[in-house]
């Protein structure tokens, strides 16, 4: 699914329609990258997600369960509990993944042929050498990443588990699988639509600035306001189509794997589960 992420980022860092290098459409973007950067151009920035994906997903689902357990002591309605636990897991996940995102976006924004661009580790070293580890360096755009992941997980988990509890369980395993997949697909799609302004802000902050040496995009909400003022409301939804194409089905698969793996572990884990962990 990474080529869709590259295309999404390219659209999000475009400013206005007057630039002759802008991509006119989704198909034009795919054709241009293929022609000028080669097949491997679609895999720019692939190493940071590979390195981050396992700890990122582990943090997402582990913290979701822990926040859900803690919220069990509060008097929140069950439906709200899922959403708040999702918000907490997204904020925690964002802190873990943000440095990887900074490196990934800087590589994805590079339009050189794949063989001419810097390696992941040299790019990371350059960012640290130039701007350090803080909010101007390897943790640039943290507030936008917090918003992106917090909002996504809040909607993603909140919608999925609430709707799943409303729609009756189907006794036929294939139909039950399709029920969960459909709810997961809608969850990932709705979450992507709602959180994409944060995603655009993150790409603008972490990507190349309009004028080298000058920082135009600094904070999350100020960046959103600037994009809205200069490019219009729809600019906050740049890259939405490839994002939905990636995270709609991807989100469904992720939740299904989580649910079935979790159920299997509950039944087969030789060490058992402590009291209060089952849901």
User: CATH code at 58?
Assistant: 1.50.40.10
Q: Does residue 277 lie in a domain region?
A: no
120 by DSSP, 3-state: which? helix
Buried b (16+ CB within 10 A) or exposed e, 12-22: bbbbeeeeeee
123 within some domain: yes
- Tell me, yes or no, whether 213 lies in a domain: yes
DSSP states along 204-272: HHHS--SSTT-----SHHHHHHHHHHHH-GGGGGTTHHHHHHHHHHHHHHHHHHHHHHHHHHHHH-TT-
Q: Is the model's pLDDT at 100 over the cut of 80? A: yes
By percentage, how much of the chain surpasses pLDDT 70? 96
Residue 243 has pLDDT above 50, yes or no: yes
Tell me the per-residue pLDDT of 44-73, one tens digit each, with 9 for 90 and over.
999 988 888 888 888 999 999 999 999 988
The answer to whether residue 133 sits within a structural domain is yes
196: left (phi over 0), alpha (psi -120 to 50) or beta: alpha
141 belongs to a structural domain? yes
pLDDT band at 276 (very low <50, low <70, confident <90, very high): very low
Residue 273 lies in a domain: no
Mean pLDDT to the nearest integer, 208-218: 87
Model confidence at 277: pLDDT above 60: no
229 pLDDT higher than 80:
yes
> Does the pLDDT value for residue 163 go beyond 80?
yes
Q: In this predicted structure, what is the pLDDT of residue 270?
A: 66
111 lies in some domain: yes
Please write the tens of the pLDDT for every residue from 117-157.
888 899 999 999 999 999 989 999 999 999 999 999 999 99
Residues spanned by the domain of 219: 1-268
Average pLDDT over residues 178-189: 95
Q: Which of 189, 187, 190 is nearest to 258 (CA)?
A: 187
Domain tally, the chain: 1
Indicate whether 62 belongs to any domain: yes
Q: What share of the chain in percent tops pLDDT 90? A: 68
Whole-model pTM: value is 0.86
The span from the CA of 252 to the CA of 238, in Å, is 23
The Cα–Cα gap between 258 and 65 comes to 12
């Amino acid at each position: 699914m990474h080529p869709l992420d590259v295309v999404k980022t390219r659209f999000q860092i475009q400013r206005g329609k007057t630039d002759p290098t802008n991509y006119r459409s989704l198909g034009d973007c795919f054709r241009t990258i293929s022609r000028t950067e080669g097949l491997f151009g679609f895999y720019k920035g692939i190493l940071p997600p590979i390195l981050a994906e396992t700890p990122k997903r582990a943090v997402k689902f582990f913290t979701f369960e822990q926040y859900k357990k803690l919220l069990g002591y509060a008097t929140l309605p069950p439906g709200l509990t899922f959403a708040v636990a999702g918000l907490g897991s997204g904020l925690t996940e964002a802190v873990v993944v943000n440095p990887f995102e900074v490196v990934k976006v800087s590589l994805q924004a590079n339009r050189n042929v794949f063989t001419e661009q810097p390696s992941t580790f040299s790019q990371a070293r350059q960012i640290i050498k130039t701007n350090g580890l803080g909010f101007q360096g390897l943790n640039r755009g943290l507030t936008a990443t917090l918003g992106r992941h917090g909002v996504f997980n809040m909607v993603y988990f909140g919608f999925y588990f609430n709707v799943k509890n409303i729609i009756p369980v189907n006794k036929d395993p294939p139909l039950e699988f399709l029920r969960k997949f459909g709810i997961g697909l809608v969850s990932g799609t709705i979450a992507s639509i709602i959180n994409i302004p944060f995603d655009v802000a993150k790409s603008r902050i972490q990507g190349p600035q309009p004028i080298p040496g000058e920082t135009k995009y600094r904070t999350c909400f100020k960046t959103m306001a600037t994009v809205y003022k200069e490019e219009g409301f729809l600019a906050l939804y740049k890259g939405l189509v490839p994002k939905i194409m990636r995270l709609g089905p991807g989100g469904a698969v992720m939740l299904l794997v989580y649910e079935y793996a979790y159920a299997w572990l509950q039944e087969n884990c030789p060490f058992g589960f402590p009291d209060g962990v089952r849901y």
